[in-house]
Amino acid sequence: MAKKDLEQVQVIKERMLAAGIPEDEVERLVDPLADELQRRVCGLVWEHTTSSIPDMEGKIATLEPVAGKNIVDDIAGDNHVLIEGENLLALMAMQYTHIDEDGKGTIDVIYSDPPYNTGSVSFAYNDKFEKSEWLSMMDIRLKLARNLLKDDGTMLLSIDEKFVSYLKLLCDDIFGHSGACLMIETSAIAGPRRVPAMQGSIVKTAEYVLAYKKSNSESIAKNLTYDHIPGFDTHYSLFWDEVSGSFESFKDIIKANSLIADEFKKHGFPVSLDNLGFLVGISGTVRDWLYSTDISTHLFRKGDRASVSATDSVSGASPFFIVGEKKYMRDRKGQVYNIFAYSDRIGQCDDYFNSYGERTVRGNLWKGFSSDGGNLNKEGGVSFKSGKKPLRLIRQLLKMVTDKGSNATVLDFFAGSGTTGHAVLDLNKEDGGHRRFILCTNNELGKEAQQEAKKKGYIPGSEEYEDLGVCHAVTYRRMQNVFPEYPGNNLYYYKVEQDMEASVLDDVTIARMASRAVFYVAMKENVFNMEKHEDYHLLYDAGTDVVVVTDPDMDMYDVEDRIVPEAFTRKHRKVYCSVYEPCVRDGVRYIPYPEEVLKVLKAVKKYIRREAE
């Protein structure tokens, strides 16, 4: 901040002292402003609030599975997680489950669609914040979420035009660098929207997605996405005839092909490259012929003259030759030019119709998603007014930032409609990947659901009331609807809650706390099937055994003597117990308890001892 601003703060401070205001009161009021001005060179300055931050004093965030809600198809399949509850608590819990032994995050991609601060009271999230409250709410969540990302991980955030500038400045500050801003065409000017547009209003037809790498890298896309280009690019006018060994006019090639020439005649077009663009859109015969390997690999566009150094090693007079991966033509005067094959211009596109044809790499303007609006309310078999993103959009965003066939972990901590989970399943089916998702959402009731609950006399907290909440009625229901379409996938349902410290709990809840500590390890290892034993819990899947010792006083040697012989039957073997650092003995990997697990287990042990005295 400019020196002049700090000098002005000092003037204010001196005037307040001169007015007789006590020095400690002046310092309390003015010094925080001076500190903030010194800290920030450029960016957001706002009044931090705590209204959207749960009071965690004397409490911890705990995870607990919800009985009867898991969807398990194959123990050897891909495991996914749905967490019901306050997303801040979930992010706090994940600081233990998804940060590795070296303090690095293990999440590959975070996509979230936070509340847009529209002032709506019918939205299933609290979507009515003042700006400072909204920024405070997002600030702490984004900082915790960034911790969870791998060093090369990516965060994607949907936002509208009213808050994109605030969110971008906030993210620039949190990530320490500027990210990319994608503009998504989400609707067209039609129906009732046409009236204000015709009256001169600038009608909203787009929203935004901010994209940030945890590392300061401009390379965000791991896979390219493509927009379809209708018609035919007439610059591709040269056809290499291998028989004659010369370049021919592509128009003459078309005339010489009776099948294709007849298509022009049938549709009332004279043969020309311009008219070829029309026929590509209406004639499957012409389209298939043009995109065939025999045609597309021999059809070229002439580029600029090539430098002599690039071609001086090529002798002879052939009009067509290749140096390395580049193609060249030599004209009758001996001049050499770069040429570009039509086959490189065509391919599968990412438009609404999944077209095949001419295409261009997509930039930061993502067009055509207004086409998805007609089917949006039906996707996943659930309705989610004003908060549902097209499945195709989220699938393509995830496709862009993950490798083909990836086993990436994807987190959405404002999961709402469940589109992110659906998109992960769909993308895996498309490219054979094994991506896993973690969805976090609260179970609040929107305005309409509250009215329904009141009308039917449902009491808050009752099963009937809770089943109208967003997690039960939308997110989980969508998973129930779509999972049968994707065999080999499992969903594990957890609740995250605030619990009092174990040391102040009574014996009614102490055992539950010990068990909940084990679920941190289940999340960390992505292994969810569990057997309870006297001194330990066994977590397992098709190829892994994970033992969580529930007695924090039991060391590695005790474990070897009392547990290991009976516990392990699978290839990969791990034990969480009281060891100072990870080590391997006799094929078993011993791992220190996560801090939160150890904290709870020690408190439980202390409580049990105290009660026994």
Task: Provide the β-strand partners of residue 548.
Answer: 537, 576
pLDDT tens digits, 86-105: 999 999 889 888 988 788 99
Task: Name the amino acid, one letter, at 412.
Answer: D
* pLDDT of 516: 67
**What gap in Å lies between CA 153 and CA 410, rounded to an integer?**
10
Sequential DSSP letters for 93-160: HHHHHSB-TTS-B-EEEEEE-------BSSSSS-B---HHHHHHHHHHHHHHHHHHEEEEEEEEEEE-
Domain 507-612 sits in CATH 1.10.730: no
Main-chain phi, psi angles of 340, to 5 degrees: -130, 130
* b/e sequence 460-485, b meaning 16+ C-beta within 10 Å: eeeeebbbbbbbbbbbbbbbbebbee
pLDDT of residue 612: 57
Q: What is the pLDDT of residues 1-18, one digit of tens each?
A: 456 666 777 877 887 788
In whole angstroms, what is the distance from residue 291 CA to residue 286 CA? Answer: 9
- Kindly report the pTM of this predicted structure: 0.85
What Cα–Cα distance (Å) separates residue 236 from each residue in 253, 277, 296, 297, 332? Answer: 13, 12, 10, 11, 19
Q: Is the pLDDT of residue 130 over 80?
A: no
Q: What are phi and psi of 344, to 5 degrees?
A: -80, -15
3 state SS for 226-257: EEECCCCCCCEEEEEECCCCEEEEHHHHHHHC
CB 420 within 8 A of CB 410: yes
Q: How far apart are CA 537 and CA 533, in angstroms?
A: 6
Residue-level pLDDT at 292: 97
Give the CB-side neighbour count of residue 445, counting CA atoms within 13 A: 18
Q: What is the pLDDT of residue 122?
A: 42
Residue 37 backbone class (left: φ over 0; alpha: ψ -120 to 50; beta: rest): alpha
- Average pLDDT for 266-278: 96
| Fold of the CATH domain 59-225+363-498 | Rossmann fold (3.40.50)
What DSSP letter does each residue of 543-562 carry, written as one string?
A: SEEEEEES-TT--HHHHHHH
- Token pair 């059809």 in the structure block, residue: 299
Which of 113-127, 227-241, 544-558, 597-611 is most confident? 227-241
Q: Residue 543: beta bridge partners?
A: none
- Between 564 and 530, residue with greater pLDDT: 530
- Tell me which of 181-190, 205-214, 561-570 is least confident: 561-570
Q: Which of 139-148, 330-339, 604-613 has the highest mean pLDDT?
A: 139-148
Which residues is 336 bridged to in the sheet? 330
pLDDT value of residue 502: 46
Q: Would you state the pLDDT for residue 121?
A: 42
Average pLDDT, the chain: 86
pLDDT-based confidence at 541, cuts 50/70/90? confident
389-441, pLDDT tens digit by residue? 999 999 999 999 999 999 999 999 999 999 999 999 999 999 999 999 999 99
Q: In this structure, what token pair is assigned to residue 186?
A: 């989400």
Higher pLDDT, 598 or 143: 143
pLDDT for 603: 66
